[in-house]
Amino acid sequence: MTFEFATAARIIFGRGTIGQTAPLVAEMGNKALVITGQNKARSGPLVAQLEATGVRSFLFSVPKEPTVDIIREGVEQATSAGADVVIGMGGGSVVDAGKAIAALLTNGGDLMDYLEVIGEGRAISRTPAPYVAIPTTAGTGAEVTKNAVIESPAHGVKVSMRSPLMFPRVAIVDPELTLSLPQRMTAFTGLDALTQLIEAFVSHKATPLTDGICREGLKRATSVKKAWENNTDVASREDMSVASLFSGLALANGGLGAVHGFAGPFGGMVHAPHGAVCAALLPHVMEANIRALKKTAPDSANLARYDEVARILTGDVKAAADDGVGWVKILCKDLDVPPLSALGLTTQEFPQLIQKAKNASSMKGNPVSLSEGELTTILEKAL
C-alpha cells in the first residue's frame, strides 16, 4: 500500500473563526491584497479587522469565474500595491484566483507560462506569497486544493494552474459566512460537494485516508436539503461546510471521476454554474458506472463502495447501489436542478464534449472505463 496526503498548511474550522484572520495575516506581512466576489462590501468587517492590526488592504474583485485576463489584472494590482500577503474571501472562483495570484507574485512571468494544456505548463519553483483562503460557500473545497481553475475564453476551455506549492498557507472555514447564500447557490454548491465526495470515494485513486474523510463527509452532505430549505439553520450550514472542506481534502488526494470529467470541459464550452452541471450529471454517471461494474466486475470493491454510498445517503443498512442513485435523483428533483439543455447544451455539441471529457484529468479517476456510447447515454439522460 502506497499513498500520500497533502493539504493546506493549517485549517481553522468553526463558527466565528473569521475573527482570527487579522492576527494571522499580521504575522505574514503588512500589505494584503483582499480578493472578493462581485460584492466588495462583504469584506468590510475583514478590512476593518486588518486595519486594526496594522495591515493595509487593497481590494480586488473577481465577479465571475476567473479568466486569464482577470488573473493578470490581479497580479498587476498586487504588484503595484506592494502586497506581501494575499487573502481570498468568497466562493471557489475567488479562492482559486487567490492561489494563482499568490503563485505568480513570487514566480514571475506570465500566467500562460504555467497553465496546463494551453500554456507551457512550467512548474512553480518558488513558494507563493502567503495565502489565506476563506470560503463563503459550501461546495468546492478549493481552500484545501493545490490547483486554480482558470478560463481562457480565447481557447474555449477551462484549465488549471497546479502545484504542490499552491496549497493555501491557512484555510479559515467559518460556517456562519454561508448563512447569506441564496437558495439556488446553496443547492448547486452543496451538490458539488456531494458529487466530489462520491467521486473521490469510488475513485480507483482512493486511499484509506480519503475513505474515512469521504464517509464522514457524505454523512454531513445529507444536510444539503435542510440548508436549502432554511438558510438560518446554522447546524445544517455547519454540516455542509464540513462536507465541502472534506470534499476538497478527498479530491485533492483521491481524484474524481466522470462527472467532473464532463463538467470541466462543459464549463469551457457553455457558461453555467459548475455545481448545477455536476448535479445534472451525477445520478446518470452513477447509474452508468454501476451498470458497467455489474457487467464487467460484479465482485469489484468499487461496486461495493457504491453500496456503501447508498447506505450512508439513505440511512438504510440494507440499501444497495441503485438505491443511492434513486436517492440522488429525488434530491436533485427536490432542489430544482435544471437539465443540461436548460444550462445551454445541445446534442450537436455532444461529440466535442465527449472527446474533451475523455481526455480530462478527472476522468482518469473514474472507477470503470466508459465507452463513447456509454458517455453519450449519460449526456442524453442528463439533457
C-alpha distances out from residue 142 to 88, 310, 325, 339, 354, Å: 11, 26, 26, 25, 26
DSSP line for 261-289: HHHHHHHHHS---HHHHHHHHHHHHHHHH
The pLDDT of residue 1 is above 90:
no
Judge whether residue 117 has pLDDT over 90.
no
pLDDT of residue 10: 98
**pLDDT of 209:** 97
Residue 326 in this model has a pLDDT that exceeds 90: yes
pLDDT at position 296 over 90: yes
Angle at 377 between CA 272 and CA 252, to 5 degrees: 55
Given a cut of 90, whether residue 158 has pLDDT beyond it is no
Find the angle CA(176)-CA(178)-CA(182) to the nearest 5 degrees. 140
* pLDDT tens digits, one per residue of 370-381: 999 999 999 999
How far is Cα 155 from Cα 149, in angstroms, rounded to an integer? 14
Quote the DSSP letter at residue 128. P
Burial of 293 per CB tally in 10 Å (0-12, 13-18, 19+): buried
Q: 117 or 343, which is more confident?
A: 343
Residues sharing a CB contact under 8 Å with residue 374, sequence separation 6 or more, in sequence order: 288, 292
**pLDDT above 90 (res 211):** yes
Do 143 and 90 touch, CB atoms closer than 8 A? no
pLDDT of residue 33: 98
79/76 Cα distance (integer angstroms): 5
Question: Do residues 171 and 153 lie in contact, with contact meaning Cβ atoms separated by under 8 Å?
Answer: no
**For residue range 304-325, what is the model confidence (pLDDT) as tens digits?**
999 999 999 999 999 999 999 9
What mean pLDDT is predicted for residues 110-130?
A: 95
- Which residues make Cβ contacts (< 8 Å) with residue 295, sequence separation at least 6? none
Model confidence pLDDT, tens digit, residues 253-286:
999 999 999 999 998 888 899 999 999 999 999 9
